[in-house]
């Protein structure tokens, strides 16, 4: 019974497979009939002749054009960073240096142009400001004549009693000046020098005369020696008496003793001349010390005045424009370390600073071009500023390196627009490290992806 059932199932499966094959054949016949359409057959089986002949050539031509363009087109490498612009001459702040005080007088207005060393303000002081300024002019005139001390002594010190803190240094300077002036201009030391010089001349003459006497006595001594020897020989032969020979020898010894005394006098003359020269040098040294003392007192007085001016005067350190840090009024109370005003220079020269990190720093070289896009001047409208790397710091600070950028054309953009400088201006800087061919860039990117 099971065997019969199995056989029937196999026949049923074979029948179903035959039916499915018939359906596939009928479908294939329908598709074949569709492809047998003449129009479809013409498109599929007959390709256009120009594509067969020129398609590959056109493809390679287009590829060569693309490669050629990619070879000639250069695309620069850009390193972007932030740049700050500064003037060559930085603004100078004037700070109140006393513990406390008041503003005495003000001689400039906000925005006014001032020249270097112009007095802008007086601060409260026990001294009379005008007296100190006039006394400084006198000291400056003395400094100009430091090469001629006699010209200095020809001047008369002005009398002041309102110099405040400078009154004591002024008294010291006055005492030194008067003391040295009375000694040097009176000629006491110079007359002493002349007297000593005359004495030295007299000693030289005496020494010369003594030398001549020595030479004469040496000749006389030689004759006395010959005479004593001759008489001694005659005495030995009995031709002259012994006493006569002894007398001749005695005269010889007396002349020799006199000669030695003259030679000793020559040594004394040398010693005396040395002493007089030393006295002359000491007198000359005294004169130079007095001159140096008065010159030193002049410069010390000048230094005291400068210290006083730093405390009680506001002076423009450079040419520029005055900018008050706050509203200033006469008799206004000021505190130590308080910024009074700022002098901003009128400068046409500027430079930029870039603090660049370590990334791509090795590509940056001196002389490379920098494209500067000002934050306050949109580059799409105003253009960009041309810059060059002028300096690269050798030592980093906090992992950043300072780059200094100069502007060969000033703050003019490539659209010929003038950028008006403001303190604190920032910009975006694009450093053009090198220009690489587009083909090389594509090849480098492909190799990078493969790796």
- The whole-number pLDDT of residue 19 equals 59
- The whole-number pLDDT of residue 84 equals 94
**Regions of the chain where pLDDT drops below 50:** 1-8, 28, 30, 34-35, 449-451
- The whole-number pLDDT of residue 35 equals 47
Q: What is the pLDDT of residues 14-63, one digit of tens each?
A: 555 555 655 555 554 545 554 455 555 555 555 555 555 566 677 777 88
Q: Which domains does the chain have, with CATH numbers?
A: 2-72 (no CATH), 76-88+347-450 (2.40.30.170), 119-315 (1.10.287.1490)
- C-beta of residue 347 within 8 angstroms of C-beta of residue 407: no
- The whole-number pLDDT of residue 45 equals 56
- The whole-number pLDDT of residue 300 equals 93
């Amino acid at each position: 019974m099971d065997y019969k059932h199995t056989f029937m199932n196999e026949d049923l499966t074979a029948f179903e497979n035959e039916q499915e094959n018939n359906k596939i054949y009928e479908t294939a016949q329908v598709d074949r009939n569709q492809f047998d359409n003449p129009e479809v057959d013409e498109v599929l089986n007959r390709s256009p002749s120009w594509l067969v002949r020129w398609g590959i050539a056109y493809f390679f031509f287009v590829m060569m054009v693309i490669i050629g363009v990619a070879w000639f087109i250069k695309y620069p490498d850009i390193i972007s960073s932030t740049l700050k612009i500064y003037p060559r001459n930085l603004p100078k702040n004037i700070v109140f240096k006393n513990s406390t005080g008041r503003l005495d007088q003000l001689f400039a207005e906000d925005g006014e142009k001032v020249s270097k060393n112009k007095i802008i303000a007086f601060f409260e002081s026990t001294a009379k400001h005008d007296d100190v300024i006039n006394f400084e002019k006198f000291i400056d005139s003395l400094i100009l004549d430091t090469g001629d001390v006699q010209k200095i002594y020809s001047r008369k010190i002005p009398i002041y009693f309102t110099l405040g803190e400078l009154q004591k240094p002024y008294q010291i300077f006055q005492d030194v000046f008067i003391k040295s002036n009375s000694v040097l201009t009176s000629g006491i030391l110079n007359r002493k020098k002349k007297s000593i010089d005359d004495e030295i001349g007299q000693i030289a003459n005496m020494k010369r005369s003594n030398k001549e006497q020595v030479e004469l006595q040496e000749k006389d001594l030689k004759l006395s020696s010959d005479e004593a020897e001759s008489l001694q020989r005659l005495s030995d032969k009995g031709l002259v008496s012994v006493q006569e020979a002894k007398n001749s020898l005695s005269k010889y010894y007396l002349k020799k003793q006199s000669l030695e005394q003259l030679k000793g006098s020559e040594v004394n003359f040398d010693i005396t001349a040395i002493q007089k020269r030393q006295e002359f040098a000491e007198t000359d040294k005294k004169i130079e010390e007095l001159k140096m003392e008065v010159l030193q007192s002049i410069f010390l007085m000048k230094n005291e005045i400068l210290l006083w001016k730093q405390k009680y005067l506001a002076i423009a350190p450079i040419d520029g424009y005055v900018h008050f840090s706050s509203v200033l009024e006469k008799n206004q109370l000021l505190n130590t370390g308080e910024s009074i005003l700022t002098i901003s220079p009128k400068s046409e020269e500027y430079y930029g600073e870039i603090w660049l990190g370590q990334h791509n720093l090795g590509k940056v070289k001196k002389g490379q071009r920098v494209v500067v896009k000002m934050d306050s001047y949109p580059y799409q409208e105003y253009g960009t500023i041309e810059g060059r790397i002028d300096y690269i710091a050798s030592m980093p600070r906090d992992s950043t390196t300072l780059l200094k950028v100069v502007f060969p054309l000033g703050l003019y953009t490539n659209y010929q627009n003038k950028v008006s400088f403001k303190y604190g201006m920032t910009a975006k800087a694009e450093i053009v490290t090198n220009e690489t061919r587009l083909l090389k860039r594509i090849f480098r990117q492909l190799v990078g992806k493969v790796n």
